[in-house]
């Protein structure tokens, strides 16, 4: 294994040349012999992260609390090519150790090579392992990271629980999510399963997505007595990016519930209202709460979404420091997306930080079917009334204000009337209701000097346009591994390779360590892995125990149970048993022996209740055939069935025990289903019991093959005649009982 990795690295050195990509102060190779993931559109994301980390670590050193002489440790949990980790090492001063982790062999090789090529191998240490396992193994105080960066393919929800435990007190967690379709309301059921909140299809859906993610992070942190302090949260291009500081404190963690609210949205006029989870606060912004109809338009469609994080999502002081740092940066030291960074952060600094969500003023005007005014006009009306307003970095047409919703509709009514829009619009009940409602406030559209947006006059790059072809999130790198399916990956990423990589990379991460932070237990249970324990040892023990337990169970229940018996089911089960997998052939032979034993016990021995023994014996044959077929199939398809049972989680030998137990429980339920026999078919069966016993004894007492052959023919003829002469016009269950007992003898003959 070591030689193969060195060969890959040497081959990569030979292929290096025209394939180099330079970003910031780092040059990497993503093509050639070893290909890794790289998306140039995310350069803004990486530049913003560099800027935030510089300011954050500078503030941390100047803080009055904490041990700031300790080495600064950073984790790039999903590193891919290692570009982000390398840029941390080259462009963020003060970092002492960076772990660049990935669950792809190709990525780990590329990280080592790129670190060496950029002369930062003393700072950047490549790690091969599952990101969740890596973070869980660093939960103790002395191992925690000062900064963790999560930039996965799609949702980061599966990494959040381990991430909030692995960040030191007052450390920073940086999270990217690219599953905007889910967060913005296209798949509310998927959003709830991942983030625990219902999204809202509204013009403010991008800010809504940010607040859903913040709520999810804080809910994970609260479980461990921790809480978050958002520093900067932005919606950019096709993703959202959150920078939050983690703190520890029981009181602050319990107080987190006051930051959460459900959102009530009218499906007709899109008015918003907020219902806090912990304490209901009735204000002008909350007038539609708990109403069956919207008080603004009379609409009946009131949607509830959330819960979401409704506290401020930016730290205004921290954003101001970032802007000042950018402005003081010399031109030759500026980041590649400096102009856009300055523009976005300027818009963020202008936002009203304590007001959640926003409206599009054009959408409000469209409800009353009137022309859309200029943004300055609407802002002036709000400012003249004494309210605050701003745009949002999420949407250039956003209107974020602390004014009540009623005042926004007063603006719409006043503007509509000034353009001769009457209240009795035909076919427009929502517009008619709103326009016919009298105004509550006086509206003044006189231009206010403060209504002109400062950042617009400074010609900043505030909202980036689409960059052209193939713009957006790239597909996952070939050969990469997802944490949700990591334990099902065998072959090229087996436990042996993990051990080799641990030695080569000097990492403490064990891929197949299902119990975090218990290296000794992992070594102790090395033989009890999925491949050995779950696939062979556990099923074999269960099969053996089941076969040995069947005769005992038969003798216990034979004289008390009278299950329903269906001939076709028994024949089908017997056929399935014969046509089953060859893998369980020996087990079938053993079970067949038990079936014969059951027949002898029921048909030969003269017990007190003749009816039940043969009947239960036949039923147990069918049950054994079914169990044999099910267990034989489980041997072959056990992994796939376990994925369905355990929702793609780690499939350990303990879960294999549960899996086999479920199968046995189903089979036992099948055996113990019973019904009370009717007197008619019991008497009919008793009349033929003596004849059946005689035939069975003659057959099993035949010692020579010639005698057995003759007896076989006689039995076959007599049984066939009995079937022909069977009284099938009686109750169906009586006929079924006869046919079942004949099937027992046929099974014994053949």
Residue 447, pLDDT > 70, answer: yes
Distance CA 302, CA 285 (A): 15
Residue 561, pLDDT > 50, answer: no
Give Cα separations from 332 to 51, 329, 461, 690 (angstroms). 15, 8, 19, 106
Q: If we measure between CA atoms, which residue out of 622, 568, 612 comes closest to residue 591?
A: 622
Residue 239, pLDDT > 60, answer: yes
Distance CA 274, CA 287 (A): 9
Confidence of residue 1 (pLDDT cuts 50, 70, 90): very low
Distance CA 336, CA 314 (A): 24
More confident residue, 661 or 629: 661
Q: If we measure between CA atoms, which residue out of 103, 99, 80, 78 comes closest to residue 88?
A: 99
Strand stretches in 237-374, DSSP E: 239-248, 260-266, 272-276, 302-309, 359-360
Q: Parse the chain into domains and list their residue ranges.
A: 487-524, 530-749
- The reported pLDDT for the residue numbered 691 is 55
User: What is the chain's alpha carbon radius of gyration, rounded to the nearest angstrom?
Assistant: 36
Handedness of CA 210, 211, 212, 214 (dihedral sign): positive
More confident residue, 304 or 230: 230
- The reported pLDDT for the residue numbered 545 is 53
- The reported pLDDT for the residue numbered 633 is 52
Please calculate the CA angle 362-204-373 and round it to the nearest 5 degrees.
Answer: 15
Residue 723, pLDDT > 70, answer: no
Q: Which two tokens stand for residue 368?
A: 């009353």
Distance CA 466, CA 273 (A): 33
What's the chain's length in residues?
750
Would you call 439 exposed, middle or buried from its count of C-beta atoms within 10 A (0-12, 13-18, 19+)? middle
Mean pLDDT score of the chain: 71
End-to-end C-alpha distance for the chain, whole angstroms: 56
- The reported pLDDT for the residue numbered 119 is 93
Percent of the chain's residues with pLDDT above 70: 53
| DSSP per-residue letters across 14-37 | HH-STTEEEETTEEEE-SSSS---
Per-residue H/E/C for 390-459: EEECCEEEEEEECCCHHHHHHHHHHHHHHCCCCCCCCCCHHHHHHHHCCCCCCCCCCCCHHHCCHHHHCC
Distance CA 191, CA 188 (A): 5
* pLDDT winner (highest mean) among 210-214, 417-421, 604-608, 614-618: 210-214
Phi, psi of 547 (to 5 degrees): -65, -40
Q: If we measure between CA atoms, which residue out of 333, 330, 318, 347 comes closest to residue 234?
A: 347
What average pLDDT does the segment 14-18 reach? 40
Confidence of residue 189 (pLDDT cuts 50, 70, 90): very high
Phi, psi of 400 (to 5 degrees): -105, 125
- The reported pLDDT for the residue numbered 317 is 95
More confident residue, 115 or 689: 115
Residue 733, pLDDT > 50, answer: no
Give Cα separations from 355 to 39, 243, 400, 620 (angstroms). 34, 19, 7, 69
Confidence of residue 495 (pLDDT cuts 50, 70, 90): very low
More confident residue, 574 or 185: 185
Largest CA distance in the chain: 117
Q: In what order do the strands lie in the sheet with 72-76?
A: 124-128, 95-102, 72-76, 145-150, 167-177, 239-248, 226-236
Q: Tell me whether the omega of the peptide bond preceding residue 665 falls within 30 degrees of 0, making it cis.
A: no
Residue 328, pLDDT > 80, answer: yes
What average pLDDT does the segment 528-549 reach? 45
Query: In terms of DSSP bridges, do strands 239-248 and 226-236 run parallel, antiparallel, or are they unpaired?
Result: antiparallel
- The reported pLDDT for the residue numbered 744 is 41
Q: For residue 492, what are the contacts with CB-CB under 8 A and spacing of at least 6?
A: 105
Confidence of residue 672 (pLDDT cuts 50, 70, 90): very low
- The reported pLDDT for the residue numbered 478 is 53
Element (H, E) at 8: helix 2-15
Secondary structure (3-state) at 559: coil
| pLDDT, tens digit (0-9, with 9 covering 90-100), for 577-616 | 444 444 445 544 554 554 555 445 444 433 334 444 444 4
More confident residue, 539 or 194: 194
Characterize 5-27 residue by residue with b for buried, 16 or more Cβ atoms within 10 angstroms of its Cβ, and e for exposed. beebbeebeeebeeeeeebbebe
CA 611 to chain CA centroid, nearest Å: 55
What average pLDDT does the segment 90-109 reach? 92
DSSP state of 198: B
| pLDDT, tens digit (0-9, with 9 covering 90-100), for 39-89 | 778 899 999 999 999 999 999 876 644 555 678 999 999 998 899 999 999
Confidence of residue 702 (pLDDT cuts 50, 70, 90): low
Secondary structure (3-state) at 176: strand
């Amino acid at each position: 294994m070591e030689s193969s990795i060195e060969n890959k690295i040497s081959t990569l050195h030979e292929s290096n040349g025209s394939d180099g990509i330079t970003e910031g102060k780092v040059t990497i190779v993503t093509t050639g012999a070893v290909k890794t993931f790289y998306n140039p559109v995310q350069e803004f994301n990486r530049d913003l992260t560099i800027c935030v980390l510089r300011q954050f670590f500078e503030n941390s050193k100047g803080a009055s609390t904490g041990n700031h002489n300790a080495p600064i440790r950073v984790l790039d949990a999903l590193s891919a090519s290692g570009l982000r980790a390398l840029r941390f090492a080259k462009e963020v001063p003060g970092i002492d150790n960076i772990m660049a982790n990935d669950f792809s062999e190709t990525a780990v090789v590329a990280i080592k090579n790129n670190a060496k090529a950029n002369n930062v191998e003393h700072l950047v240490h490549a790690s091969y392992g599952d990101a969740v396992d890596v973070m869980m193994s660093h939960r103790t105080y002395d191992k925690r990271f000062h900064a963790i960066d999560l930039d996965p393919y799609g949702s980061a929800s599966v990494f959040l629980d381990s991430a909030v435990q692995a960040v030191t007190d007052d450390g920073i967690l940086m999270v990217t999510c690219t599953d905007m379709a889910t967060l913005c309301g296209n798949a509310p059921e998927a959003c709830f399963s991942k983030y625990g909140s219902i999204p809202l299809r509204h013009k403010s859906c991008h800010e809504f997505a940010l607040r859903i993610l913040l709520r999810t992070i804080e809910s994970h942190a609260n479980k461990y007595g921790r809480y978050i302090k958002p520093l900067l949260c932005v919606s950019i291009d096709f993703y959202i990016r959150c920078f939050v500081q983690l703190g520890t404190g029981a009181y602050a963690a319990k107080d987190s519930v006051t930051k959460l609210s459900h959102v009530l949205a009218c499906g007709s006029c899109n008015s918003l209202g907020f219902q806090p989870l912990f304490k209901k606060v009735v204000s002008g912004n909350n007038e539609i709460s708990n109403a069956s109809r919207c008080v603004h338009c009379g609409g009946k469609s009131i949607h509830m979404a959330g819960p979401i994080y409704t506290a401020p999502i930016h730290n205004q002081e921290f954003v101001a420091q970032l802007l000042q740092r950018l402005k003081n940066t010399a031109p030759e030291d500026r980041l590649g997306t400096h102009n856009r960074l300055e523009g976005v952060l300027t818009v963020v600094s202008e936002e009203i930080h304590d007001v959640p969500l926003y409206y599009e003023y054009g959408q409000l005007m469209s409800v009353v079917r009137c022309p859309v005014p200029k943004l300055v006009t609407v802002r002036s009306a709000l400012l003249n009334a004494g309210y605050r307003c701003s745009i949002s970095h999420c949407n250039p047409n956003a209107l974020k204000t602390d004014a009540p919703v009623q005042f926004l509709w007063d603006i719409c009514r006043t503007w509509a009337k000034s353009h001769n829009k009457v209240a009795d619009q035909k076919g427009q009940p929502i517009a008619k209701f709103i326009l016919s409602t009298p105004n509550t406030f006086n509206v003044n559209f006189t231009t206010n000097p403060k209504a002109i947006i400062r950042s617009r006059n400074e010609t900043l790059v505030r909202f980036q346009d689409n960059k052209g072809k193939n713009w957006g999130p790239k597909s996952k790198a070939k050969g990469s591994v997802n944490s949700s399916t990591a334990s099902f990956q065998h072959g090229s990423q087996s436990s042996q390779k993990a051990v080799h990589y641990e030695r080569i990379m000097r990492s403490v991460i064990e891929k197949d360590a299902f119990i975090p932070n218990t290296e000794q237990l992992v070594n102790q249970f090395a033989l009890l892995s999925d491949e050995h324990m779950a696939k062979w040892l556990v099923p074999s023990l269960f099969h053996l125990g089941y076969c040995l337990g069947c005769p005992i169970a038969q003798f216990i229940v034979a004289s008390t149970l009278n299950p329903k018996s269906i001939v076709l089911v028994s024949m089908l089960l017997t056929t399935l048993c014969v046509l089953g997998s060859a893998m369980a052939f020996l087990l079938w032979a053993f079970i067949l022996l038990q079936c014969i034993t059951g027949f002898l016990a029921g048909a030969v021995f003269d017990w007190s209740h003749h009816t039940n023994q043969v009947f239960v014996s036949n039923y147990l044959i069918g049950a054994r055939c079914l169990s044999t077929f099910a267990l034989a199939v489980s041997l072959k398809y056990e992994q796939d069935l376990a994925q369905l049972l355990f929702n793609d989680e780690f499939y350990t030998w303990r879960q294999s025990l549960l899996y086999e137990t479920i199968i046995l429980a189903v089979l036992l339920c099948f055996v113990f289903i019973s019904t009370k026999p009717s007197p008619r078919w019991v008497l009919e069966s008793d009349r033929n019991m003596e004849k059946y016993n005689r035939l069975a004894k003659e057959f099993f007492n035949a010692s020579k093959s010639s005698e057995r052959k003759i007896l076989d023919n006689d039995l076959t003829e007599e049984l066939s005649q009995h079937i022909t002469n069977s009284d099938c016009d009686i109750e169906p269950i009586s006929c079924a009982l006869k046919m079942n007992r004949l099937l027992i003898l046929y099974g014994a003959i053949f």
